[in-house]
Amino acid sequence: MTKPPTRIQKRNRAAILTAGLDVFSQYGFRGSTLDQIAVAAGLSKPNLLYYFPSKDAIYTALLERLLETWLAPLQQMNADGDPVTEILDYTHRKLEMSRDYPRESRLFANEIVQGAPHIADHLSGELRVLVDEKAAVIQGWAKAGKIADVDAHHLIFSIWALTQHYADFDVQVRAVLNTDDPFARAGPFLDHAVRSILRR
Amino acid sequence: MTKPPTRIQKRNRAAILTAGLDVFSQYGFRGSTLDQIAVAAGLSKPNLLYYFPSKDAIYTALLERLLETWLAPLQQMNADGDPVTEILDYTHRKLEMSRDYPRESRLFANEIVQGAPHIADHLSGELRVLVDEKAAVIQGWAKAGKIADVDAHHLIFSIWALTQHYADFDVQVRAVLNTDDPFARAGPFLDHAVRSILRR
DNA sequence: GTCTATAGTCTGATAGAC
DNA sequence: GTCTATCAGACTATAGAC
């Protein structure tokens, strides 16, 4: 029988998660310190650990919460819709997430580049199930001749790669382009790219 | 007047750099420890610091050395060659690097995702100059009608994203595919993808 | 060149007053 | 619920013997 959280508890837990997202997404799990998170959350270090039992708990809570947000765009892909439209809309949703939630993208990028020690189970579990399901849908479209005969899994990988690149490698993109809005031209380019890949 | 390195110096410096690549590519700069690197190199920690003055020096030496390796595939792109062939060959070279040098790819990925604190200058310097040069070549091909009228910079980004994804997000790709050789199908898919994007 | 020992600092986490 | 004080361990780096 856990008591319902008070307003102050809600506020502080939210502040910690926001601060954790800021710090962990920039420095990775091991590169981040409780001190940094505490300062960012406006709390003392012991007070931080009053709300979460450990550094790992904050990080895990963040990842778990983000996982559903991260899978949502793919879940929305509708098997009964128009194939090209569905895949393009998915691409657009993913690019929007890179633009609007770059910290979340980098949090996952850090985690996965370093071998996904905290979410390996989720990758071969929920993620794999979802991807297999949607890949089957895409494969069906391909077999029916509605789109080009592409490998559905690698098509999904390519959409991840193309869209997340703009969040995860943001500093590189900006350094090369010297622009303050890389997404302005990324959108039309990705639209052309995905359309081309799907064309029969 | 620095003396030439002895055989033992060469061997140990090389061992340290290899060990550093192993460790830094897996845990990032802050997540790695001198202990890990020393063990991997078969040296004691103080002995490690006899060859390199600091942890930072090992890391920086690795990045500097890798930068040229990393730029080479793009440098090879020949303005006088056949456009589609040149761009496809570049894609193949980049995919080969992801397959044969995944640690190097992840070392850069870690560095850039975390804001490129050690190589920011190189990104807006050498890298930017090279990309601008090659983008101009591609833009020329597009204007001449030899390939589709794509944004050359974003085409280059997309080739980076598509190929590096298989090295940097290797665990995710393997978790979803449950295969021991993701590159087998990645090659043909990327070939189709890039060909399609370039088709007029 | 390589080692043991250790200095000095940082970090995650806890104890206990208020 | 929040704080000060602090512990134990890990970390980078150095000193000095061999």
The number of distinct structural domains making up chain A is 2
- Is residue A119, in this structure, part of any structural domain at all? yes
| Residue A123, domain extent | 63-198
Q: Do A158 and B27 make contact, defined as CB atoms within 8 angstroms?
A: no
Q: Is the CB of A14 under 7 A from strand D?
A: no
Average predicted confidence (pLDDT) for chain B: 97
Q: Is the CB of B5 under 7 A from strand C?
A: yes
User: Is the distance between the Cβ of A6 and the closest atom of strand D smaller than 7 Å?
Assistant: yes
Whether any strand C atom is under 7 angstroms from the Cβ of A45: the reply reads: yes
Residue B24 shares a structural domain with residue B103: no
Alpha carbon of B47: minimum distance to chain A alpha carbons (Å): 25
- A1 pLDDT exceeds 70? no
pLDDT band for position A6 (cuts 50, 70, 90): confident
Same domain, A49 and A67: no
Indicate whether A97 belongs to any domain.
yes
Tell me the torsion sign for CA atoms B143, B145, B150, B155. negative
CA A163 to chain centre: 10
Give the distance from residue B8's alpha carbon to the nearest chain A alpha carbon, in angstroms.
32
Which two tokens mark B46?
A: 């103080």
Tell me the two tokens of residue B27.
């845990």
- What CATH number did the domain enclosing B9 receive? 1.10.10.60
| Mean pLDDT of the B85-94 span | 98
Residue A37 CA to residue A31 CA, distance in Å, equals 12
CA pair distance B111, B27, nearest whole angstrom: 11
Percent of chain B surpassing pLDDT 90: 96
Q: How many Cβ pairs closer than 8 A exist between chain A and B? A: 167
Residue A138 lies in a domain: yes
What integer pLDDT is reported at residue B4 of this predicted model? 77
In A, minimum Cα distance to B164 occurs at: A161
Q: Quick check: A16 pLDDT over 60?
A: yes
Do A32 and A107 reside in the same domain of the chain?
no
**Residue A128 located in a structural domain:** yes
Same domain, A138 and A180: yes
Question: Is B24 within 8 Å of B62 (Cβ atoms)?
Answer: yes
Q: Are residues A42 and A72 in the same domain?
A: no
CATH number of the CATH domain containing A79 = 1.10.357.10
Question: In the prediction, which pLDDT does A4 show?
Answer: 77
List CB contacts of A50: < 8 A, sequence separation 6 or more: none
The pTM of the full predicted model, rounded to 2 decimals, is 0.97
Instruction: Name the closest nucleotide to B51, judged by C1' and CA.
Output: C1
Average pLDDT, chain A: 97
Quick one: average pLDDT of A86-112?
Answer: 98
- With cut-offs at 50, 70 and 90, classify the pLDDT of residue B5: confident
Let me know whether A19 and A98 are in one domain. Answer: no
Please check whether residue B58 lies inside any domain of the structure: no
Residues of chain A with C-beta less than 8 angstroms from the C-beta of B173: 157
Q: Return the pLDDT at A2.
A: 64
HEC letters along chain A: CCCCCCHHHHHHHHHHHHHHHHHHHHHHHHHCCHHHHHHHHCCCHHHHHHHCCCHHHHHHHHHHHHHHHHHHHHHCCCCCCCHHHHHHHHHHHHHHHHHHCHHHHHHHHHHHHCCCCCCHHHHHHHHHHHHHHHHHHHHHHHHCCCCCCCCHHHHHHHHHHHHHHHHHCHHHHHHHHCCCCCHHHHHHHHHHHHHHHHCC
- Considering the domain boundaries, does residue A193 fall inside one? yes
Determine the residue of chain A that is closest to B150 in CA distance.
Answer: A189
Within a 10 A sphere around the Cβ of A160, how many other Cβ atoms? Answer: 19
Q: Residue B2 — pLDDT band, cuts 50, 70, 90?
A: low
Closest residue to D11 (CA, C1′): B33
pLDDT value of position A41: 98
CA nearest to B30, candidates B113, B121, B127: B113
Report which of B70, B94, B96 is spatially closest to residue B155, judged by C-alpha positions.
B94
pLDDT tens for each residue of B159-185: 999 999 999 999 999 999 989 999 999
The verdict on A40 and A95 lying in the same domain is no
Residue in A113, A116, A186 closest to B113 by CB: A113
- The C-alpha atoms of residue A34 and residue A36 are separated, in whole angstroms, by 5
Indicate whether A184 and A86 sit together in one domain. Answer: yes
Task: Mark whether B92 and B161 lie in a shared domain.
Answer: yes
In a domain, B185, yes or no: yes
CA–C1' gap, A30 and C14, in angstroms: 21
Instruction: Give yes or no: residues B75 and B169 share one domain.
Output: yes
**Residues A26 and A113 both lie in one domain:** no
Answer whether residue B181 is part of any domain: yes
Is B1's pLDDT higher than 60?
no
Please indicate, yes or no, whether residues A76 and A46 belong to a single structural domain of this protein.
Answer: no
pLDDT in tens, A28-51: 999 999 999 999 999 999 999 999
Note the pLDDT tens digit of each residue in B10-56: 999 999 999 999 999 999 999 999 999 999 999 999 999 999 999 99
Q: What is the sign, positive or negative, of the torsion defined by CA atoms of A30, A31, A32, A35?
A: positive
CB A101 within 8 A of CB A85: no
**CA–CA gap between residue B110 and residue B128 (Å, rounded):** 20
> Could you tell me the distance in Å between the CA of residue A50 and the C1' of nucleotide D1?
9
* Residue range A37-96, pLDDT digits in tens: 999 999 999 999 999 999 999 999 999 999 999 999 999 999 999 999 999 999 999 999
Give the pLDDT confidence of A127-179 residue by residue, as tens digits. Answer: 999 999 999 999 999 999 999 999 999 999 999 999 999 999 999 999 999 89
What is the model's pLDDT at position B6? 86
d(CA A193, CA B199): 10
